[in-house]
Amino acid sequence: MALNSVTVRVPAKVNLQLSVGPRESNGYHNLVSVFQAVSIFDDVTITKSHAGSGVTIAITGDQTHGVPEDGSNLAVKAAHLIGEKFDIDTDVHIEVKKSIPVAGGMAGGSADAAATLVAMDALFKLEATREELLELGSQLGSDVPFMIAGGTAVGTGRGDQLTAALSRGTYHWVFALSSVGLSTPAVYSECDRMRAELEVADPKVSDTLMQALLSGDPELVGKSLSNDLQNPACSLRPALTLVLEVGREYGALGAIVSGSGPTVAFLVADEEAGLDLAVALTASGVVGSVARATGPVHGARVI
């Protein structure tokens, strides 16, 4: 029976390590990123439309503010890209049910693009290889390949060259969410400004973090979290410093700005500790809202 509609569930991500190299002449930075996919999900449903309708998109859910419903949305770009690659008419309607924070450093836009690639592949029976999907993803954005892959992985280059990381156990996270996003380009510009007089080394994977993940010890992982964009994000949004301090004060094993922010991620020992921290953060008044999640989880997949 011909499929008319496909839904793909895709996770958010947190960076356990984000190391940013010097700014290259093309404006990009070489990155080393250790990603973990976490259990906050967007659901992307793609439905075939009538001929000539093109790609349309609608955004629903509890994280819709500021998400474009036009051709600038990465999901729309993903539909066009895979359509060109496989020479198919992309007359489809995309519905994104969003729970991943917008402009929060958790790759919500990249997640929706990844889900669109996977959904289009299933809907049109393209039988794309994993490598083809990852390559298309890397053309859309440096986080997109990881959102297809999921789990825990090391990203190099612009963050899009992936290697699975050896990781044991389940990790419990509490995320302090902000009602106002931060622009990724602005955070990178601030990073360049703050480091203008410094000699910046090429980024390397943290052996300490890799050993901690292999041991499955959340306390060691918590101590090994690092993000070169944390200080720039805090420079642009000073309130983040207080959020980080409050989380540590209330027992987080590790605290880090996720990606380019402004979401702050706290690693905790277990589910009970996560609940306690979520309550404490909410009561403190320094956080707009909180979300709890576990990782690692799978990447984009059909449900």
Supply the residues annotated as catalytic. Answer: 13, 143
Contact 31, 203 (CB under 8 A): yes
d(CA 203, CA 250): 32
Number of Cβ atoms within 10 Å of the Cβ of 222: 21
Burial of 272 (0-12, 13-18, 19+ CB in 10 A): exposed
Rg (CA), the chain: 19
CB neighbour list of residue 79: distance below 8 Å, 6 or more residues apart: 46, 55, 90, 92, 94, 116, 120
Closest CA to 262 of 175, 195, 194: 175
For residue 153, give the amino acid letter: A
